[in-house]
Amino acid sequence: MGIDAGFDMVPRLSKGAVDRQNWQSFIKIIKERYQNDDLVEVKPNYIVFKAGEHPMLPFEGHKFLRFSSKISGSHAKGVEEYIDTVTWVAKANFGSRVRYWNEAGDEWGFYNWQEVNDSFKSYEQPDEPEIPTSIAQYVFGTDTMSELNLQLFGIQLVPGKGKGLVARFNIAKGKRILYEKPFFTAPNLSPISLMESNIATKLKALSKTEQQQFLSLHNNFPGKHPFSGIVKTNALPCGPDSGIGGVYPTICLINHSCLPNAHNSWNSDTKCETIHAIRYIKSGEEITISYDKGGPSDSRRTHLKDAFGFDCNCSLCSLPLPDLQISDARRLQIQLLDNAIGDPDRVMNKPDDCLADCHCLLQVLEEEYKGSAGVLIARLYYDAFQISITHGDQARASVFAERGHRSRVICEGEDSPETRKIKNLMENPAGHRNFGASKRWKTAKGLVPKGLDTDGFEKWLWRQGR
Ligand SMILES: C[S@@+](CC[C@H](N)C(=O)[O-])C[C@H]1O[C@@H](n2cnc3c(N)ncnc32)[C@H](O)[C@@H]1O
């Protein structure tokens, strides 16, 4: 008997070039780290740590299932430190594929001992070399990237920002990068002592590992209320304008950019947060999301400092002053247009002006965000949809809904409640609550013109030249 702890690799690595290379660099880091440690011996086919039950790391990563040992009793001396360090390095290389468990915290390994012992036996004898039959097999082992559920990012130190997520592969626009359950969700309570005790209660309900993960998150507000400080630094709102925030093991390692390449969204059905690429992300590029609501650099800076406690050094905020001023002017214009479009009296009485503002906003967003305005575009099309449907124009409304739907899928995926909502409206625009408030622009859904060239169609859609 005794208490075991360690980590499992779930899913196990493939024989493909990508996994092979990642495992080799992981082994290289381990070898370098322990080169002067007499208790860590490099054998022909694996590394053995001569403490506890002598956990091993094979040189062939696809054989590896578990790194663990008993951590209780006198013979276990020193092994816990090896387990902690190797787990940490493995996590940095393989992310959530590395599942740490500790029987002291009622956590158990993923694989059964029969599977694990068989894997240990296979370490001694290297495999016969295989000739891959396809590029996919060579690169990915036996399957494609998605089927293998490859983690698209690694956790790395990013200059000036602490830890961050960096793409390990080229990531296509619209690709789901992460889907994660929060440790917990919590409201922003006042006074702070109340918030602290509320979080303490939620923390107690977590496993030991989760508690450790939570406590290892960055805290910009150290002092008398450490739990609240961690939540304030890391929590992401559970939906736009929600006063409830969620704290996540991996998503909370994503840094902010005022010009992000990914979008975070709360799925109120599954109670999970998703991260999607909103533009093509190159391998090696940092993955970023936006923590704030935009606006010119001054107001962004103030908000990020007050709400999250840091000074932003993203690529936009680091622009030379003349360039930053151009961006600031556009951000201000975006805010003004957004406010004007959202005015219900104007939607009712000056719909042509509102639609013209939507068109103008679309152009400014494209310029400012270099074609990657993400969810701002989805919202804009929803606004244009609402203006059209309020005045009975089902034809235009269905086109705007279709465009809004396309943008939502990119930012949030098909399973997002927001995506489903706009999809329903695309199919049945008259189902919107404002339909019929006015008949000013009345059209049937089927009256979308056919045979126009792109310019002609855009002119029709935005009611230009009337
Ligand atoms: C949610 S955490 C992100 C992960 C964090 N970098 C870490 O090491 O754990 C937010 C913190 O990361 C840093 N950070 C994120 N985005 C930044 C940015 N654009 N500029 C400077 N620091 C940033 C700040 O310290 C911020 O409080």
User: In this predicted model, what pLDDT tens digit does every residue of 193-209 receive, in sequence order?
Assistant: 999 999 999 999 999 99
Element containing residue 379 per DSSP (H, E) = helix 375-390
Q: Round to whole Å and give the CA distance between 458 and 132.
A: 50
Question: Which of 181, 174, 171 is CA-nearest to residue 151?
Answer: 171
Element containing residue 297 per DSSP (H, E) = helix 297-303
Q: Is 221 in the pocket of ligand 1 (CB under 6 A)?
A: no
Q: Is 214 in the pocket of ligand 1 (CB under 6 A)?
A: no
Q: Is 310 in the pocket of ligand 1 (CB under 6 A)?
A: yes
Q: Is 220 in the pocket of ligand 1 (CB under 6 A)?
A: yes
- How much is the average pLDDT of 405-415? 95
| Contact between 306 and 319 (Cβ < 8 Å) | no
Look at the block and give the residue holding tokens 């009296």: 345
Exposure string for 147-175, b = 16+ CB within 10 A, e = fewer: ebebbbbbbeeeeebebbbbbbbebebbb
The DSSP result for 228-295, as a single string, is HHHHHHH-EESSTT-SEEEE-TTGGGPEE-SS-SEEEEEETTTTEEEEEESS-B-TTPEEEE--S---
Q: Identify the band that residue 143 occupies on the pLDDT scale cut at 50, 70 and 90.
A: very low
Residue 443's pLDDT is what? 97
Q: Is 428 in the pocket of ligand 1 (CB under 6 A)?
A: no
Instruction: Lay out the sheet containing 162-167: strands in order across.
Output: 153-158, 162-167, 286-289, 255-256
- ipTM tops 0.90: yes
Q: Which domains does the chain have, with CATH numbers?
A: 4-144 (no CATH), 153-308 (2.170.270.10), 321-461 (no CATH)
Residue 138's pLDDT is what? 62
Taking the CA of residue 233 as reference, the ligand 1 atom at the shortest distance is 27
Ligand 1: distance of its center to the CA of 345 in Å?
A: 41
Residue 181, pLDDT > 80, answer yes
- How much is the average pLDDT of 394-411? 96
Residue 371's pLDDT is what? 82
Residue 141, pLDDT > 70, answer no
Q: Is 233 in the pocket of ligand 1 (CB under 6 A)?
A: yes
Q: Is 234 in the pocket of ligand 1 (CB under 6 A)?
A: yes
Tens digit of each residue's pLDDT (9 = 90 or more) over 307-366 = 999 999 999 999 999 999 999 999 999 999 999 999 999 999 999 999 999 999 999 999
Ligand 1: distance of its center to the CA of 66 in Å?
A: 32
Ligand 1: distance of its center to the CA of 162 in Å?
A: 6
Residue 147, pLDDT > 80, answer no
Residue 16's pLDDT is what? 86
39 phi/psi in degrees, rounded to 5: -85, -5
The DSSP result for 313-337, as a single string, is --TTTTS-HHHHHHHHHHHHHHHHH
Residue 140's pLDDT is what? 63
Q: Is 253 in the pocket of ligand 1 (CB under 6 A)?
A: yes
More confident residue, 127 or 137: 127
344 burial level (CB within 10 Å; 0-12, 13-18, 19+): exposed
Q: Is 398 in the pocket of ligand 1 (CB under 6 A)?
A: no
Q: Could you tell which of 248, 255, 312 is best to mutate to test the pocket of ligand 1, judged by most ligand atoms within 8 Å of the CB?
A: 255
| Contact between 2 and 44 (Cβ < 8 Å) | no
Taking the CA of residue 309 as reference, the ligand 1 atom at the shortest distance is 27
Residue 124, pLDDT > 70, answer yes
Beta bridge partners of 244: 187
Ligand 1: distance of its center to the CA of 298 in Å?
A: 18
Q: Identify the band that residue 15 occupies on the pLDDT scale cut at 50, 70 and 90.
A: confident
The DSSP result for 171-184, as a single string, is B-TT-EEEEE--SE
296 phi/psi in degrees, rounded to 5: -65, 165
Q: Is 312 in the pocket of ligand 1 (CB under 6 A)?
A: yes
Q: Is 154 in the pocket of ligand 1 (CB under 6 A)?
A: no
Here the tokens at position 295 are 């606006």
| Contact between 331 and 361 (Cβ < 8 Å) | no
Tens digit of each residue's pLDDT (9 = 90 or more) over 351-378 = 999 999 999 999 999 999 998 999 999 9
Is the bond preceding 226 in cis, omega lying within 30 degrees of 0?
no
Ligand 1: distance of its center to the CA of 370 in Å?
A: 24
Q: Round to whole Å and give the CA distance between 392 and 439.
A: 5
Residue 136, pLDDT > 80, answer no
Residue 142's pLDDT is what? 55
Residue 128, pLDDT > 70, answer no
Residue 150, pLDDT > 60, answer yes
Amino acid at 281: I
Taking the CA of residue 258 as reference, the ligand 1 atom at the shortest distance is 19
Q: Identify the band that residue 133 occupies on the pLDDT scale cut at 50, 70 and 90.
A: very low
Q: Round to whole Å and give the CA distance between 460 and 466.
A: 9
| Contact between 211 and 277 (Cβ < 8 Å) | no
Mean pLDDT of the chain: 93
Ligand 1: distance of its center to the CA of 20 in Å?
A: 31
Residue 170's pLDDT is what? 87
Here the tokens at position 354 are 């509102």
Residue 428, pLDDT > 70, answer yes
- How much is the average pLDDT of 80-99? 95
Ligand 1: distance of its center to the CA of 80 in Å?
A: 30
Q: Identify the band that residue 450 occupies on the pLDDT scale cut at 50, 70 and 90.
A: confident
Query: What is the sign, positive or negative, of the torsion defined by CA atoms of 132, 136, 140, 146?
Result: negative
Residue 139's pLDDT is what? 64
- How much is the average pLDDT of 123-144? 62
Here the tokens at position 124 are 């001694």
Look at the block and give the residue holding tokens 């322990």: 34
Taking the CA of residue 252 as reference, the ligand 1 atom at the shortest distance is 1
Q: Round to whole Å and give the CA distance between 60 and 20.
A: 8
Tens digit of each residue's pLDDT (9 = 90 or more) over 214-251 = 999 999 999 999 999 999 999 999 999 899 999 999 99
Residue 245's pLDDT is what? 97
